[in-house]
Structure 1
């Protein structure tokens, strides 16, 4: 079974020159359009079975899984931090929604109007009734934020401007399971980067409050938002400052709304179509170039055969033999021009990617229930640079012939095989039409009779 013969693979989507070039409303509109665009079964060359949501939710098979998408962003697009942040944010929203109402009330919803209001007035406007009931009769009754009196009573309170010393002081105390997994040096480094981020934005540092997940948010600021972060997102200064202003007051997921939309828009409307376009290619670059060479050789062979028969004294019917070379050469060239090798496609195989060739069997390749990869969670402080990974040097040492005939693996994803079948059929039909036209022209020419 194949798709429509008019099928076209996804177009290559270029990154916008500036993240400010597209407004937030336009990004949200594009995201909504992407979500609802699969009602007809196909959207911009991407079937519903390979939609962004299906890939992220784990409903696809190799080579179209979340892991494959992550590897593509890391090694090809060089933008893995977008998917890493998106997976973390999905997990964070779920965990925040699962909190008791008493804890969620400590972090009120962040609205856009809050960014334009003064902070003291903002606090008065955003007092939650549930929070007010919780703090009734305490020092927090008038304002569910840390008061001057509570600063002296709270042993975990960290005064502004001295995060490093106090975190080192409290390093031996287990605040919660999340902080228990961080060393004192790690906490100090994250806190210092968060301090610098807030100071650069002209905001006041609020390192630790009674709000849920405040320490985790501090770490996320250090990794994804602060300058020099291990996985710094490509945000405009306006988006960055708005996010820090929001996180200064609350840890509610709504504080990440604009940044989360920017990241999701980049993934849905730019990275995902490019990933599907790239995945359709079943061979590596040397194999595709080799296939193109074979296609050109087949076409040249067909021309030579047709020309020799035409110049000879043989009858016109013999010139039809040249159609074999034209058919094989043109179909191979059309398929190779779209990144496919017809030999590999005949077996529904694909080449292993360079980073897959040298992967050991004991490396974690699955994703946990929170949506992030096991190894990503274990090394969330690491950056996405891969130049020092062992496979880079090993792959460069492989000779060209070995790269052309690299190891192959069966394509498990049915929707991807269906796309490749469609492209292969298009190549055959296109080759048939062109071959008949070329051979017809040769048949119309009088024989030469030179030999």
Structure 2
């Protein structure tokens, strides 16, 4: 997909307050994932699978993808169609900070009864303006997410002549009611406001607060967990293998120390136990991080292809049934993260090895 290289910077002339600092989206890894600009194992498909089977929060990504798709389709409607669904009235906070709007090409002030002729608008608070500006970059009618909602058995609310009325009703039921299979975890006041506004208009601005809320959750919580998961390159059997090797190396170092003392060798000969202690610590820390140094050097990642029934049940891959495959790590960000873990492992193993060797050397020759 092709991204946009420049962004219009907008400032509100009606606001004198300094906007609160929000999560950066301009260089967000999450936005790159949404736009399909990342490679395996940091791709959009892998992120969806992670949310579904690990965090059980796939609804956060689903509402963002649907919103991007819906806003793009709404934006493509003729002006006469869009005017049937003006933006909802701004909240008190938005009125205080200055109601701004995002159009198809530029930002401009607007009122709920005057959506403007250039394109649809979204009424926002100042601190959220940049977020939505950047969120829509890289998406157009040709490359928006292909999201379709089940529009059957939806509540019969709102004006039937408004564009996408049945789809909006379906979105309300899916994301904002207890009956929905993908109910969002949003504040109660936000939920009530969205449901109330959706009964009056089908404008995309209705869903903007929930989309921002879900995006922030994914960026602050889900994304860091996903990146750590993506950096892991060994499965359970390999972890057990390295754990056993770590224990064996530690036992060998202990036996070597005992024999050197038993045969009255100089205590300085016990420095030879350092490689074993270091290797033991390295193996055991690899079990913790699930990141093998040798696999990292070869850009290899072990993947278990499990039965579909297991994936649907959301069971942990720590005890999978399936075939072990070796995939290639293509995403530079993941490789860089693995490099940091590798350096951390080597540093920690060296420190632990040095400490254990010092203890071995300090043991008296006769005890």
Fold match (TM-score > 0.5): yes
Question: 1:426 matched to which residue of 2?
Answer: 344
Supply the distance in 1 between the matched residues of 2:38 and 2:115 (Cα, whole angstroms): 44
CA contact under 8 A between 1:358 and 1:391: conserved in structure 2? no
Structure-1-length-normalised TM-score: 0.59
Supply the distance in 1 between the matched residues of 2:336 and 2:42 (Cα, whole angstroms): 13
Question: 1:83 matched to which residue of 2?
Answer: 61
Within-5 A mapping of 1:256-275: 256-275=207-226
- Superposition deviation, residue 83 in structure 1: 0.5
Higher-RCO chain (CA-CA 8 Å, sequence separation at least 6): 1
Residues 1:240 and 1:308: Cα distance change in structure 2 (over 3 Å): same
Supply the distance in 2 between the matched residues of 1:90 and 1:262 (Cα, whole angstroms): 15
- Superposition deviation, residue 126 in structure 1: 4.3
Supply the distance in 1 between the matched residues of 2:315 and 2:290 (Cα, whole angstroms): 23
CA contact under 8 A between 2:50 and 2:226: conserved in structure 1? yes
CA contact under 8 A between 1:306 and 1:442: conserved in structure 2? yes
Within-5 A mapping of 1:64-75: 64-75=42-53
Structure-2-length-normalised TM-score: 0.71
CA contact under 8 A between 1:306 and 1:439: conserved in structure 2? no
CA contact under 8 A between 2:252 and 2:276: conserved in structure 1? yes
Supply the distance in 1 between the matched residues of 2:75 and 2:226 (Cα, whole angstroms): 31
Supply the distance in 2 between the matched residues of 1:77 and 1:57 (Cα, whole angstroms): 21
- Superposition deviation, residue 300 in structure 1: 3.1
Report SS of the residue matched to 2:327: strand
Structure 2: unaligned runs, 5 residues or longer:
1-18, 94-110, 118-147
Count, aligned residues: 303
- Superposition deviation, residue 34 in structure 1: 3.1
Q: Deviations over 1:129-179 (max 9, x none)?
A: 879xxxxxxxxxxxxxxxxxxxxxxxxxxxxxxxxxxxxxxxxxxxxxxxx
Question: Are 1:337 and 2:337 counterparts?
Answer: no
CA contact under 8 A between 2:52 and 2:314: conserved in structure 1? no
Please say which structure displays the higher CA radius of gyration: 1
Question: 2:23 matched to which residue of 1?
Answer: 33
- Superposition deviation, residue 413 in structure 1: 1.2
CA contact under 8 A between 2:53 and 2:315: conserved in structure 1? no
Structure 1: unaligned runs, 5 residues or longer:
1-27, 39-47, 116-124, 132-180, 196-204, 360-385
Residues 1:234 and 1:335: Cα distance change in structure 2 (over 3 Å): same
CA contact under 8 A between 2:239 and 2:286: conserved in structure 1? no
CA contact under 8 A between 2:197 and 2:206: conserved in structure 1? yes
**Cα-Cα RMSD:** 3.4
Question: 2:98 matched to which residue of 1?
Answer: none
Report SS of the residue matched to 2:346: helix
Supply the distance in 2 between the matched residues of 1:319 and 1:114 (Cα, whole angstroms): 73
Residues 1:289 and 1:397: Cα distance change in structure 2 (over 3 Å): closer
Supply the distance in 1 between the matched residues of 2:169 and 2:72 (Cα, whole angstroms): 18
- Superposition deviation, residue 286 in structure 1: 4.7
Question: 1:56 matched to which residue of 2?
Answer: 34
Q: Deviations over 1:83-119 (max 9, x none)?
A: 011111111122222223222222111133499xxxx
| 2:355 counterpart (402, 417, 437) | 437
Residues 1:130 and 1:86: Cα distance change in structure 2 (over 3 Å): closer
Residues 1:348 and 1:249: Cα distance change in structure 2 (over 3 Å): same
Q: Deviations over 1:199-254 (max 9, x none)?
A: xxxxxx32x52222112112212322232112222234322221111111111111
Residues 1:242 and 1:393: Cα distance change in structure 2 (over 3 Å): closer
CA contact under 8 A between 1:350 and 1:411: conserved in structure 2? yes
Residues 1:324 and 1:344: Cα distance change in structure 2 (over 3 Å): same
Within-5 A mapping of 1:16-415: 29=20, 32-35=22-25, 51-113=29-91, 126-128=112-114, 187-189=151-153, 191=154, 194-195=155-156, 205-206=157-158, 208-353=159-304, 356-358=305-307, 389=312, 398=321, 406-415=324-333
- Superposition deviation, residue 395 in structure 1: 9.6
Supply the distance in 1 between the matched residues of 2:317 and 2:34 (Cα, whole angstroms): 31
